[in-house]
Chain A
Amino acid sequence: MRSTCEAICNEVGRVVVGQPELVRQVLVALLARGHVLIEGVPGVGKTLLVRCLASVLGAEFKRIQFTPDLMPTDVTGGNVFDARKGEFSFVKGPVFTQLLLADEINRAPAKTQSSLLEAMQEASVTVDGVSRALPAPFLVIATQNPVESQGTYPLPEAQLDRFLLQLLVGHPTQPVEKQILRNYVAGFDAARLERAELRRVADPALVLAMQAYVSHVRVDDQIVDYISELVARTRAHPSIFLGASPRGALGLVAAARTHAAVHGRDFVIPDDVQAYAAPVLRHRILLQPDAELSNQRADDVIEAILREVPVPQGVR
C-alpha cells in the first residue's frame, strides 16, 4: 500500500508542483472515505490537483462551479418530463461521479450547499423519495476563498463537520513558482492534461481495496485515549467557544489510521494523530471572540493542546 500511495503522489506531483503534502492529504481523505475542504486563494492549482488525481486513479471526475443562483437539482439531478415517453425520467446531476470538485462552495446559498449533505454522508442521493447510490469511491473536494466574503454564504457548522479535512493552501514559494513557470514555458497547459501523459497508477477497485485495508489498521487503546483526551480538551479550552464533535474524534481516528497505512504501518502511533489533528479539527472548533481579536487561529489552539496532552508512553 505504501508503494502504491507513493506512486500516486509522485505521479500527481509531476504536474502539481510543490504541493506534495496537499496531494498526500487529499489521498488520505480519499482512502479514509472522507471529504476535503480546501481553503486557498484562486489559482494555486486546486482544480488541477483533482483532475490529476482522477486521471492517475482512473476515476470519473466532475466539477460544479457554485454560484448564488445554483439550485439543489443542479447538483443532485432531478426528474424531467420526457414528452416522447410521456413520463418523468431521472436525469443524474454532476454529483454522480467519483471525484467531485465543488468549486467555491460558499458562493451558493445554504439550500444548495445542503444538497451535498446526504451525498457526503451517505454516498447516496434522494430525489422525490427515491434514493440512488453514488459510484464508489466517492470524494468531494470543495474549495472556498478565504479572502472574499461579499456575496458568500459561510458553510453552516453541520456541513463543515462533514468534511474530514480542511486543508489550507497558500501561495507557492518562489522556487516552486519558478518551476511552474518553466513548465508553462516548456508547453504545459493545464487545460490539456492529456498532454502531460499521466500514468494511471491505480484504479477505483484498488482504491476500494485500500479503503478496506485501512479499516483493519490497529488502533491501540492508548491511542484511543489520546484522541479522546485531545478532543475533550477542545471542549474545555478557554480560547474555544465550541469544541470538536464526536464525529471529529472519529475523523481523527480515520485520518490517523490512513496516515499509518500510507506510511506502511498496520498500527497507529501518536505521530499519526498529531499529523492530522489540525486538518481534522481546525474547521470543527469555534474560537472565542477574544481569541479571534487576539489574532489567534484554530491551528494555534490545537497546537497548544497537542503540547499539553501527554503522548502515550511518552515523557510525563
Chain B
Amino acid sequence: MSAAGRRARAGWALAGGLALCSRAVPAQDATELDPRGVRAALEASLESGAAPFCRDAEHVLSERERALCPFAAEAAQRCPAFAAACAGAQPEPRQESGWWFMVRTLLRALGVALFWVLLAAAACLVGWLALRLLPASPLVRRELAQPGADPVSEPELPEFERAFQAHLERARQLAAQGLFAEAAAEVQLGVVLRLDALGLILARRGRTNGDYARDLADRPELQAAFGALTRTTEAVQFGGRRLDQGMYQRLLEQAAPLLGAFLIGLGLCAASGCARSGAQGPSTLAHVCGVGAEGHSLFCALFDSGLGVRQRFRPLEGPEPIADDVGAVLVLPNHLEEGAWAGLQHWVEAGGVALLAAPAPKFEQEFSVSRASASCGPHAAVLPASERQALVSVGPSWKAEPSPVLQPLALCETGEPYILQASLGEGRILFLPGSGLLSNAGLLAGDNARLLANVFELPRGRVEIIGELTRDAVSSPLSAVNAAGLTPWLCQLLLLAAAFAAYRGTAFGRRVEAPADLRRRFSEHVQALGQRWAEQRASRSALSAYAGYGLEVVRERVPAGAGQSSTDLARAVARKTGREHAPVAQTLELARRAREGEGSAGDETEDLRALRDLGRLIEDLGGIR
C-alpha cells in the first residue's frame, strides 16, 4: 500500500471515530454545528472507550490497530495516547513448545496421509466394482472360465433349480462310487428342495421331515411316498443302518413318485426300474407338476428330465445367437422370419437338436414331409416296438416319402409316421405334428411325459424354447415393447400413474411411524407391572406395597407433633384435609393392616377401593412431590 493510501485509510479511520461521535450530537444542519460541541462529543466518545488506544498509552495494539501507527503523529492532536501505544512493545508471537509443535505437525501429516489413503481406497473400490459389474470385463471372464466350474451353478439358473439338481447329480455320483448312504441323504435333500420348488412344502433350515410330511397333508399320496422315503433315509442317517445297492434302488423307487421323470433324466435308476415304480403312469406329473400349477407342464416335464429350460426372447439372428450351453431348441408356434430359420438351420448343422412343434416350411420342404389331413388316431406306438408303450396321440400324422435321412420315432395305428427324426449335418431335427402334444393336456395324457422324454433323447444342457415371445430384430426398446404387445398396457399404466400422482402429489411413499424407541419409559414399566398384578389378581399385594409407601407420605405431610398412634395420625390428617375423622381413620387402618399383612386377603373390589381412597388422601395432603 502506498503512503498516500495509508494516509487516506487513517483519515477514514479517524473519520469513522468522528462519525461515531456525531451520533451523540442532536440532528441539525452541518453549517449550524458548534465545533466545541463536536469536540466535546469526540472527547466524550474517546472517553467512553470506543477507541481505547486514544486514551490508554499502555494499550496493546491489535494487528489492525498497529497498521495505523505510521499516522500516529498526524493523529496526535485528536488521539494523544496513540503514539505512545505505538511506541509500546509489540506483543511477542505466541511461542509453542517444541513437543507440542512436533505433535501438531505429526498429526497434520497423519491426517493428510489418511485422507489420501482413504481417497485411493475409494477409487480402487469404484474401479473394482466397475470391473465386476461390466460383463465383458476380464475379471468376470476369468471367473467364468475357471476349469471345473460346476455347470449347474451358472447364474442364469434359479437358486432352487441349481440346488435340487445339484443334489441329485451328487447322489448319482456318490452312488456310482458305492457311497449309498451319502447318496440317500442327497436324494432326500433333493426331494425336499424339489417339493419346495413346486410350492408343495416350505423348506427351511429349522424344519424337519415331519414338518414337511405335515405340509403334504392335503396330498395323501405324496405324503405317503414322502413318509416312506423319509423313514428309509432317516434310518440310514440317524439309525446307522447300512444301505446296499439293492436297498438304494428301492429307495429310488420310493422317491420316484416325488421326482418323476427326473430319475430317468439323471440316470439315477434304469428306465425299467423306474417303470416298475410309481414314476410311470399318468399319476406322476399329474400329482407333482400338473395339478395346481396350470400352464407349465412342458417346463415341468423338461425340468424333470434334468434339463435346464429357458424361454428365448431375443431374436435368433443378430448379435446374440443360440448359446453354446443350449443342447436343444424347442420350436413352438412363432413369428420367425426367413433369416431366423436360416440361423436355426446353421445351428442344427453344427450339432444342435431342433424339436419342431410348429409349422416350419423351410425344413418340411427340405425333407419332403407334410401334415396329413386326418388325425393320427387315439394312440401312436413308440419305436422301437420293444418299448410296448403307446403315446396318446394329439393332432395329425405325417406324410413323408421313405428316405434314409428320415427315421420314424412313433407310428400311428394306420402305420403313418407320427414323430419323425431327420439328420441334418451333425445335428438332427425332430418333427412333431403340432404343439398340442406338448400342451398341458397332451403331456398329462397317459404316459406321454415319460415316453416323450425317452423318445426325444435330448442332449444334456439347456433347452431353449422358441415361440411367440421370440421376436425378430427390433430397432429400439420402444418397438420391442410394441412388438410384445405391451404398449396399450404401458399407456394405461402411465395414465394411471399420472392420475395417481395428480391425486397424491409427490407423497408417494407410505407414511410410516418413526421407529419406536427401544428403551422403554419408566411409566411403561409401571403400567406393565400393574397389568401383571391385575392378571394375577394380586390386589392385596398391590395395596400392601402402596400402603407402605402411602403411610410414609401421609406421616411426612402432617405436623411432626401429631402423635405416633393411628388415631392421632387420622385426627391430624382429618384436621388438615377438612375431612371427617371416621372415614380417614378407616382408610388409614385398612392401609396399615395391608402393610402389616394382617387379616385375610379381601375382596379385589375392596382392595382397589382402599387403594384409591389412600391415593385421594395423599392428593389432598399435597400429592407426591
Chain A contacts to B: CB under 8 angstroms = 147-151, 218, 220, 222-223, 265-271, 274, 290, 293, 306-316
B586 part of interface (Cβ distance < 8 Å): no
Contact check, A147 vs B537: say whether CB atoms are below 8 A apart: yes
Contact check, A310 vs B205: say whether CB atoms are below 8 A apart: yes
Within 8 A of A (CB), among B480-512: none
Contact check, A315 vs B203: say whether CB atoms are below 8 A apart: yes
Contact check, B234 vs A315: say whether CB atoms are below 8 A apart: no
B26 part of interface (Cβ distance < 8 Å): no
Residue of B204, B210, B240, B520 touching A307 (CB-CB under 8 A):
B204
Contact check, A218 vs B238: say whether CB atoms are below 8 A apart: yes
Closest to A308 in B: B206
Contact check, B208 vs A269: say whether CB atoms are below 8 A apart: yes
> Assuming A150-B538, A274-B208, is B238 touching A315 (CB within 8 A)?
no
Across the A-B interface, give the 10 residue pairs with the lowest CB-CB distance, nearest first.
Answer: A267-B239, A271-B210, A307-B206, A310-B205, A220-B238, A149-B536, A315-B203, A293-B528, A270-B208, A271-B208
Contact check, B237 vs A313: say whether CB atoms are below 8 A apart: yes
Contact check, B188 vs A313: say whether CB atoms are below 8 A apart: yes
Within 8 A of A (CB), among B311-343: none
B591 part of interface (Cβ distance < 8 Å): no
B188 CB → nearest A CB, Å:
7
Q: Which residues of B contact A306 (CB under 8 A)?
A: 206
Residue of A218, A266, A314 touching B208 (CB-CB under 8 A):
A314
Q: How far is the CA of A223 from the CA of B540 in the complex (A)?
A: 49
Contact check, B541 vs A316: say whether CB atoms are below 8 A apart: no
Residue of A220, A265, A314 touching B205 (CB-CB under 8 A):
A314
Closest to B540 in A: A150
> Assuming A150-B601, A267-B238, A267-B239, is B524 touching A314 (CB within 8 A)?
no
Q: Which residues of A contact B536 (CB under 8 A)?
A: 147-150
> Assuming A220-B237, A267-B240, A309-B206, is B538 touching A315 (CB within 8 A)?
no
Contact check, A218 vs B239: say whether CB atoms are below 8 A apart: yes
Number of B interface residues in the complex (CB < 8 A): 31
Residue in A307, A312, A314 whose Cβ sees the most chain B Cβ within 10 Å: A314
B222 part of interface (Cβ distance < 8 Å): no
Contact check, A316 vs B205: say whether CB atoms are below 8 A apart: yes
Q: A148-B536, A267-B234, A314-B192 are in contact. List 5 more A-B contacts (CB 8 A).
A: A151-B601, A269-B210, A271-B210, A311-B208, A315-B204
Chain B contacts to A: CB under 8 angstroms = 185, 188-189, 192-193, 196, 203-211, 234-235, 237-240, 520, 524-525, 528, 536-538, 540-541, 601
The dominant DSSP class at the A interface is loop
27 sampled A-B residue pairs with Cβ under 8 A: A147-B536, A148-B536, A148-B537, A149-B536, A149-B541, A151-B601, A218-B239, A220-B237, A220-B239, A220-B240, A222-B237, A266-B239, A267-B238, A268-B238, A269-B208, A269-B210, A271-B210, A274-B210, A293-B520, A307-B207, A309-B206, A310-B206, A312-B237, A312-B238, A313-B185, A313-B237, A314-B205
Q: How far is the CA of A311 from the CA of B188 in the complex (A)?
A: 13
B510 CB → nearest A CB, Å:
25
Q: How far is the CA of A265 from the CA of B203 in the complex (A)?
A: 24
Q: How far is the CA of A165 from the CA of B193 in the complex (A)?
A: 35
Closest to A295 in B: B528
Contact check, A265 vs B206: say whether CB atoms are below 8 A apart: no
Contact check, A311 vs B205: say whether CB atoms are below 8 A apart: yes
Closest to B525 in A: A293
A274 CB → nearest B CB, Å:
6
Contact check, B237 vs A314: say whether CB atoms are below 8 A apart: no
Q: Which residues of A contact B188 (CB under 8 A)?
A: 313
Q: How far is the CA of A148 from the CA of B535 in the complex (A)?
A: 9
Q: How far is the CA of A60 from the CA of B410 in the complex (A)?
A: 78
Q: Which residues of A contact B211 (CB under 8 A)?
A: 271
A230 CB → nearest B CB, Å:
10
Q: Which residues of B contact A149 (CB under 8 A)?
A: 536, 538, 541
Q: Which residues of A contact B196 (CB under 8 A)?
A: 315
Residue of A151, A218, A311 touching B206 (CB-CB under 8 A):
A311
Residue in B205, B235, B525 whose Cβ sees the most chain A Cβ within 10 Å: B205
Q: How far is the CA of A307 from the CA of B189 in the complex (A)?
A: 18
Q: Which residues of B contact A312 (CB under 8 A)?
A: 237-238
A103 CB → nearest B CB, Å:
20
Q: Which residues of A contact B239 (CB under 8 A)?
A: 218, 220, 265-267
Q: How far is the CA of A87 from the CA of B601 in the complex (A)?
A: 45
Closest to A307 in B: B206
Contact check, A315 vs B520: say whether CB atoms are below 8 A apart: no
Q: Which residues of B contact A220 (CB under 8 A)?
A: 237-240
A162 CB → nearest B CB, Å:
25
Q: How far is the CA of A314 from the CA of B234 in the complex (A)?
A: 11
Closest to B163 in A: A315
Q: How far is the CA of A187 from the CA of B194 in the complex (A)?
A: 55
Contact check, B189 vs A267: say whether CB atoms are below 8 A apart: no
Q: Which residues of A contact B203 (CB under 8 A)?
A: 315
Q: Which residues of B contact A307 (CB under 8 A)?
A: 204, 206-207
Q: Which residues of A contact B540 (CB under 8 A)?
A: 150
Q: Which residues of B contact A222 (CB under 8 A)?
A: 237-238
Q: How far is the CA of A148 from the CA of B538 in the complex (A)?
A: 8
Q: How far is the CA of A309 from the CA of B205 in the complex (A)?
A: 7
Contact check, A150 vs B237: say whether CB atoms are below 8 A apart: no
Closest to B213 in A: A271
Q: How far is the CA of A306 from the CA of B41 in the complex (A)?
A: 91
Closest to B188 in A: A313
Q: How far is the CA of A266 from the CA of B240 in the complex (A)?
A: 10
Contact check, B209 vs A271: say whether CB atoms are below 8 A apart: yes
Q: How far is the CA of A88 from the CA of B430 in the complex (A)?
A: 103
Residue of B189, B237, B240, B528 touching A315 (CB-CB under 8 A):
B189
Q: Which residues of A contact B238 (CB under 8 A)?
A: 218, 220, 222-223, 267-269, 312
Q: How far is the CA of A21 from the CA of B101 in the complex (A)?
A: 80
Q: How far is the CA of A147 from the CA of B185 in the complex (A)?
A: 48
Q: How far is the CA of A313 from the CA of B235 in the complex (A)?
A: 12
Q: How far is the CA of A147 from the CA of B208 in the complex (A)?
A: 35
> Assuming A313-B188, A313-B237, is B541 touching A150 (CB within 8 A)?
yes
Q: How far is the CA of A274 from the CA of B185 in the complex (A)?
A: 20
Q: Which residues of B contact A269 (CB under 8 A)?
A: 208-210, 234, 238
Q: How far is the CA of A102 from the CA of B520 in the complex (A)?
A: 40
B621 CB → nearest A CB, Å:
30
Closest to B533 in A: A149
Closest to B234 in A: A269
Q: How far is the CA of A316 from the CA of B537 in the complex (A)?
A: 47
Q: How far is the CA of A163 from the CA of B239 in the complex (A)?
A: 28
A198 CB → nearest B CB, Å:
31
Q: Which residues of B contact A310 (CB under 8 A)?
A: 205-206
Residue of B189, B240, B524 touching A293 (CB-CB under 8 A):
B524
Contact check, B205 vs A315: say whether CB atoms are below 8 A apart: yes
B240 CB → nearest A CB, Å:
6
Residue in B185, B203, B237 whose Cβ sees the most chain A Cβ within 10 Å: B237
Residue in B206, B525, B528 whose Cβ sees the most chain A Cβ within 10 Å: B206
Closest to B241 in A: A267
Q: How far is the CA of A218 from the CA of B236 in the complex (A)?
A: 12
Q: Which residues of B contact A151 (CB under 8 A)?
A: 601
Q: How far is the CA of A314 from the CA of B188 in the complex (A)?
A: 9
Q: How far is the CA of A293 from the CA of B521 in the complex (A)?
A: 12
Q: How far is the CA of A147 from the CA of B533 in the complex (A)?
A: 10
B531 CB → nearest A CB, Å:
9
Q: Which residues of A contact B237 (CB under 8 A)?
A: 220, 222, 312-313
Closest to B192 in A: A315
Q: How far is the CA of A290 from the CA of B518 in the complex (A)?
A: 10
Contact check, B520 vs A313: say whether CB atoms are below 8 A apart: no
Residue in A151, A269, A310 whose Cβ sees the most chain B Cβ within 10 Å: A269
Q: How far is the CA of A290 from the CA of B540 in the complex (A)?
A: 25
